[in-house]
Amino acid sequence: MEYAHRHRGDYAALLFVSGDSPEKLHASLAALCGVLHLDAEGNLPAEEAVRVAAAVDWLASHRGWLLIVDNVDTEESATALTGLLERLTTGHVLITSRLHDWADNVESLDLSVLSTAAATDLLLQLTDKQRRKTADDPAQARLLADLLEGLPLALHQAAGYIREQRLTLADYLALYEQEAADLLGWFKQHLIPYAGPEEVGPRPVLITWKTSFEKLDADTRFWLLVFAHFAPDPIPEFLLDSAPDAEDEVKTRHRAAKRALAQAETYSLLTRDPDQPRFKLHRLVQQILRLTAPEADRAAALAMGIQLFDENYPGDPQDVRTWPRWTPMQAHAVSLAAHAPDAPAPERLSWLLGELALLVETKALYAQSEPLKRRALKLDEASYGPDHPVVAIHLNNLAALLQDTNRLAEAEPLMRRALGIDEASYGPDHPDVARDLNNLAQVLQSTNRLAEAELLMRRALGINEASYGPDHPKVAIRLNNLARLLQDTNRLAEAEPLMRRALGIDEASYGPDHPNVAIRLNNLATLLQDTNRLAEAEPLMRRAFGIFGRSLGLEHPNSQTVRGNYIGLLQAQEVPEAEIEARVRGAVVGG
């Protein structure tokens, strides 16, 4: 309508018909006979087919007209219109549609939602005269624009409600949190100028999207509901890739999901990135799917979302090499966890919580990690009882975070409880027992109970060497921790060969540029500095800082710690300040 208004001087006739269905299209075309005065003498037969033919004949024999065909949102309507287009070449046909796939003779122009800035301005403009104004209106408008993700109809609908009720923007946001379904279904024609000339009923956001959902097959509706529980961020399509050795059931399920994406895209219910294999659902599409789905369907969809993570497991979240796959999935894991209830909890929810907690903890996001770990522990205690080995894993993970955040008195009883569970479950020589011994020893060392800590560390090292062999990465962890304790008790000659052995194991296991290697390099360099071998220590510390800076980022606590160690080492060598800064920068840039 805006295009027609702006370009009205360019056309001899401006015409508007509805394309909701083939029947509506034909009825609208037949009605053009009256607009075009084709039956001025009353001689045109009343049959619709005759009147459609007369209107099309007029369009085919005249030039310079604009015909808007609105809401061509079904394949049947598109087929009916496409059959007429070869005759409609002497003017312009402007089609509005949610369908994506059109013949080559239709030039498609994808319309995006408004930018956040434009949506914010529109909300402020539409509500300027009737809303109750507050000092933070621009900030509140931006929050609402983000919530509605730039969808013009939703913005007009929200503005209309705010004007009618004389609300502040903050009032509407608070109300939306409680009554989203009602607000998305609210509609008053005179407050929402979004209807075409032939609109016959209200079209609020809720009904508009539900109408589209109803055109989809059951499989597509289910998969859209699955992704409605993901974050409103791009979803990587590798989530639907099947491993070559996957079971046929998994491959069939992933193929069905990909077919569902194709159908949903046909109706513009999702958008696909033209450059990268990923797709996105509009935030309101997700919300309406969740609001209108039966509870049983939602539960099944949530469980399937978590299952997709399990079937396409990115790998150990504590290993930075898995982060290129984990990072684009992180927000979606958070969203699934947030939507999932604890009772009844979806299968594998506690697993997803645990993996996500380890990921954000490794990124030093401790405040995000702790509630995830506590929730996973609570779920599995309820499922398995307080003395199950799965519970011991969660106890260990939570205790490790408490130790990292210097809450040692809270950490120790959890570690001792985990150790008791695993010794009772597996016996004294199991690798899980070694893990528990190692973790408890770390707390004991931090609280200056060094003799007790050393006994536990040596026992853990013996278990892991017997279980995995002398060159396993877990053995490197035990060697490193024992060496640090020996260093703390001034037994440097004993500590050094253990550190060098740990470094060699990790370089062979992970390659030369892994953060685990950086830990070993830093520790060995510190020991060399303690024995006044500064020139030998400097390249190791430089390399450690470079690895951390490139893999974890310069703001990560590990990077900051080693940066301080490196600067201290250079100062001990009496390197000039200007050169120190240059070497620190070069360590990350130059490798």
Structure tokens at 455: 């006994």
Please compute Rg for the chain using Cα positions. Answer: 33
Ordered alpha helix ranges (H), 62-115: 75-85
**Rounded to whole angstroms, how far apart are CA atoms 70 and 53?**
20
Helix (H) or strand (E) holding 504: helix 492-510
Rounded CA-CA distance 242/227 in Å is: 18
Contact status, residue 570 vs residue 542, Cβ threshold 8 Å: no
As a residue count, the chain comes to 591
Q: Is 47 helix (H, G, I), strand (E, B) or coil?
A: coil
Give CA angle at 317 (300, 438), nearest 5°.
Answer: 120
What is residue 532's three-state secondary structure? Answer: coil
Any residues with CB less than 8 A from the CB of 367 and at least 6 apart, and which?
none
Q: Are strands 235-236 and 278-280 parallel, antiparallel or unpaired?
A: antiparallel
Q: Residues 262-317: pLDDT tens digits?
A: 999 888 889 998 899 999 999 999 999 999 999 999 999 999 999 999 999 999 99
Q: Return d(Cα 522, Cα 510) in angstroms, integer.
A: 16
Distance CA 276, CA 354 (A): 29
In 119-243, DSSP assigns E strands to 235-236
Q: Rounded to the nearest 10 degrees, what angle do helices 431-446 and 473-488 cross at?
A: 20
Annotate 270-326 with DSSP letters as a single string.
Answer: SEE-SSSSEEE--HHHHHHHHHHS-HHHHHHHHHHHHHHHHHT----TTSGGGHHHH
Which positions ≥6 away from 249 have C-beta within 8 Å?
none
Whether residue 562 contacts residue 548, with contact meaning beta carbons closer than 8 Å, is answered with yes
> Would you say 355 and 317 are in contact if contact means Cβ atoms under 8 Å apart?
yes
* pLDDT of the chain, 591 residues: tens digit per residue: 889 999 999 999 999 999 988 999 999 999 999 999 998 878 888 899 999 999 999 999 999 999 999 989 888 999 999 989 989 999 999 999 988 888 888 998 888 889 999 999 999 999 999 999 999 999 999 999 999 999 988 999 999 999 999 999 999 999 998 898 888 888 776 666 655 545 545 567 888 788 788 888 999 999 999 999 999 999 999 999 988 889 999 999 999 999 999 999 888 889 998 899 999 999 999 999 999 999 999 999 999 999 999 999 999 999 999 999 999 999 999 999 999 999 999 989 999 999 999 999 999 899 999 999 999 999 999 999 999 999 999 999 999 999 999 999 999 999 999 999 999 999 999 999 999 999 999 999 999 999 999 999 999 999 999 999 999 999 999 999 999 999 999 999 999 999 999 999 999 999 999 999 999 999 999 999 999 999 999 999 999 999 999 999 999 999 999 999 999 999 999 888 888 888 888 888 765
Residue that the structure tokens 């929810």 belong to: 349
161-164 contacts: CB < 8 A, separation 24 or more?
161/186, 161/191, 162/127, 162/130, 162/131, 163/126, 163/127, 163/129, 163/130, 163/131, 163/191, 164/130, 164/188, 164/191
Distance of alpha carbon 332 from alpha carbon 192, whole angstroms: 34
pLDDT tens per residue, range 348-369? 999 999 999 999 999 989 999 9
Per-residue confidence (pLDDT) for residue 195, from 0 to 100? 54
Q: Is the dihedral of CA 37, 38, 43, 47 positive or negative?
A: negative
N- to C-terminal Cα distance for the chain?
Answer: 59
Asked if 30 contacts 52 with a C-beta cutoff of 8 angstroms, the reply is: yes
For the record, the structure tokens of 75 come out as 């394949």
Cis peptide before 277 (omega within 30 of 0): no
Q: Do residues 414 and 395 make contact, with C-beta atoms less than 8 angstroms apart?
A: yes
Please, which residues have CB within 8 angstroms of residue 88's CB and are 6 or more apart in sequence?
Answer: 56, 59, 60, 67
Instruction: Specify whether the CB–CB gap between 28 and 81 falls below 8 A.
Output: no
- Quickly count: other Cβ atoms within 10 Å of residue 315's Cβ: 12
Give the pTM. Answer: 0.80
Report DSSP letters for 277-291, one per residue: SEEE--HHHHHHHHH
Cα gap 319→271, rounded to integer Å:
32
**How many whole angstroms separate alpha carbon 421 and alpha carbon 218?**
46
Contacts of 274-278 with C-beta under 8 Å, sequence gap 24+, read 276/234, 277/236, 277/237, 277/238, 278/234, 278/235, 278/236, 278/237, 278/328
Where does residue 511 rank: exposed (0-12), middle (13-18), buried (19+ CB within 10 A)?
A: exposed
